[in-house]
Structure 1
């Protein structure tokens, strides 16, 4: 069961890293003077990565909780 906990922790950290990437990506986008259409298309990419990172992080946390319950 320790493997489930550690795998979940790794997934959670990967999700958090994805969230940090999204924050930095959007901050860099806001500094640039882009037109509205370009900004929207690039922000859509950030939103997709953000949702994926949240899903991965949630899955990892679920694995940690399940691993703790089964121990």
Structure 2
């Protein structure tokens, strides 16, 4: 049972990491597009909730791994 928690947490962490990489790539593309300051700020603000969600998913996954290891 604890192996399931560990592997599920690892999967969540990888999903969160993929989301963080996606956010980084999206902001880099916006910076390379030579947008004005207001447009760049709007692009970054649009990515911010996704960034926080990806970080949250990754942290929850790491917590699951730690709990699984501690209890297993």
Q: TM-score, normalised by structure 2?
A: 0.90
Q: Could you say which residue in structure 2 is the equivalent of 1:68?
A: 69
Q: Could you say which residue in structure 1 is the equivalent of 2:16?
A: 15
Q: Could you say which residue in structure 2 is the equivalent of 1:44?
A: 45
In 2, Cα distance between the equivalents of 1:69 and 1:42?
41
Shift of 1:41: 1.6
Gaps of at least 5 residues in structure 2 are none
Shift of 1:33: 2.1
Shift of 1:46: 1.4
Shift of 1:56: 0.5
In 2, Cα distance between the equivalents of 1:27 and 1:39?
10
Q: TM-score, normalised by structure 1?
A: 0.92
Runs of at least 4 residues off by over 6 Å: none
Shift of 1:48: 1.2
In 1, Cα distance between the equivalents of 2:34 and 2:3?
49
Give the total of aligned pairs.
71
User: What's the RMSD between the two structures over aligned residues?
Assistant: 0.9
In 1, Cα distance between the equivalents of 2:42 and 2:31?
13
